[in-house]
C-alpha cells in the first residue's frame, strides 16, 4: 500500500484573492513581514498499488485529469511507500 500526496497550487500569474485575504488577516493578527501568501490544496491518496513508481504515475494522471485544473493550477506529487 502506498500513500501519494498531491499538492495543487494556482499557477504563478493567476490571481489568488484567498491568498491575499489570508495575508491581510495575518497582518491584522500582528505578523509583520508577510510579503505574499498563496493558498492551495493537498489531496492524500491511499493506493493499493505497492510499486512507488507506478503509484506516482497514477497519482500524476489523477492530478492531470481531475485533481488539478491545468489551465490555472500546477501540481506536485510525493509518494510514501
Partner 1 sequence: MKSAIIVFPGINRERDMAIALAQSSGQAPRMVWHKETDLSGVDLVVIPGGFSFGDYLRCGAMAAHSPVMRAVHEHVARGGYVLGVCNGFQILTEAGILPGALLRNASLRFLSMNCHLRVERSDTVFTGQYQKGQTFRAVMAHGDGNYFASDATLDRLEAENLVALRYVSPAGDVVPEANLNGSARSIAGIYSPNLRVLGLMPHPEDLVDPLMGGTDGKPLFDALAAA
What residues make contact with partner 1 under the rule CB under 8 A? 14-15, 17-18, 21, 66-67, 69, 71-72
Question: Cβ 66 to partner 1, closest distance in Å?
Answer: 7
Report the residue number, 11 or 76, with the smaller CB distance to partner 1: 11
Report the residue number, 25 or 53, with the smaller CB distance to partner 1: 25
Please report, for residues 4, 32, 80, the alpha-carbon distance to residue 1 in angstroms, rounded to integers and kept in the order given.
Answer: 10, 43, 9
Question: Cβ 16 to partner 1, closest distance in Å?
Answer: 8
Report the residue number, 17 or 30, with the smaller CB distance to partner 1: 17
Angle at 58 between CA 11 and CA 7, to 5 degrees: 30
If you search the block for the grid coordinates 501540481, which residue do you land on?
75
Amino acid at each position: 500500500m502506498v500513500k501519494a500526496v498531491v499538492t495543487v497550487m494556482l499557477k504563478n500569474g493567476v490571481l489568488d484573492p484567498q491568498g491575499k485575504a489570508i495575508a491581510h488577516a495575518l497582518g491584522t493578527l500582528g505578523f509583520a513581514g508577510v510579503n505574499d501568501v498563496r493558498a492551495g490544496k493537498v489531496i492524500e491518496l491511499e493506493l493499493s498499488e505497492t510499486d512507488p513508481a507506478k503509484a506516482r504515475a497514477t497519482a500524476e494522471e489523477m492530478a492531470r485529469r481531475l485533481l488539478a485544473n491545468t489551465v490555472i493550477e500546477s501540481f506536485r506529487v510525493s509518494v510514501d511507500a
